[in-house]
Amino acid sequence: MLPIKDILSRVIQQRGFKRQLESIEVVKIANYILKEAFNNNIKASFFIKNTLWVQTSSPILANEIFLNKERLKNKINKKIGKNLVKEIKVKNK
């Protein structure tokens, strides 16, 4: 008899949920890191095709993200333990 952890892991991979779960985890971690760096003025919206989309209402903060893109990517990827985030794009509200 297999442990429940192994069964769930198999089902997640067979059904294609792994990518969705990774996406949720990336957004969650990115929001934590962004909140730490920029307070509540920036929010990770979604993660698709290795691109993290971030929303802000300020062009100045959008520029800050642009200037710190590599550092933020590295910090997020390090926290996740995988090199998932390849790009960060900013969308103004």
Domain ranges of the chain: 4-92
Confidence of residue 6 (pLDDT cuts 50, 70, 90): confident
> pLDDT tens digits, residue range 34-85?
998 887 788 999 999 999 999 998 899 899 999 999 999 999 999 999 999 9
CATH H-level superfamily of 4-92: DnaA, N-terminal domain (3.30.300.180)
Q: What is the pLDDT of residues 72-91, one digit of tens each?
A: 999 999 999 999 999 999 98
pTM: 0.81
Strand partners of residue 83: none
**How many whole angstroms separate alpha carbon 32 and alpha carbon 15?**
29
